[in-house]
Copies of this chain bind each other. A is one copy, B any other.
């Protein structure tokens, strides 16, 4: 038979990490959601009709971290050994800042896990506030810090 090897353009694959060392790894990501003054006040007071927004977003972020490799196609599954989620409320610009820190002991970094946790927290905040505000904007989602592994310590210059 005449066989044509079909090389899919750009050939997506999950990179082989089997030669990498198992080390302690950590990543911190952050992002924010801006809303109008009224929405912000309701969240802060814990009086949004759907429930306590930040308590739900915190649980959602932790569960989202565990779903990372099922959402991001080329991301390796890994054991997550610890997750923490923090919120800061910016009263002047009425926006909520979410910071997620993830730790693991494995062969790949956890920056995607931290970023996914931030994204799921922001989406959850949006969902619980959207009845009163459809104009909210999520942004400034970035990796702040990353430790462990071959590439060493990364720290963003402008956090």
With the chains together, A140 CA to B6 CA distance in Å?
19
- A interface, how many residues as a size bin? 35 or more
Task: Give CA–CA (A14, B84) in the complex, Å.
Answer: 6
Question: Nearest-CB distance from A70 to chain B (Å)?
Answer: 6
Question: Which B residues are CB-close (under 8 A) to A136?
Answer: 142
Chain B residue nearest to A60 (CB atoms) is B73
Residue-wise, chain A 82-113 has the 8 Å CB interface mask toward B (1 for contact) of: 11111111111100110000011111000110
Binding site for B on A (CB under 8 A): 1-6, 8-18, 24, 31, 44, 46-56, 58-60, 62-67, 69-93, 96-97, 103-107, 111-112, 115-116, 119-120, 122-124, 126-128, 130, 134-143, 146, 154, 156
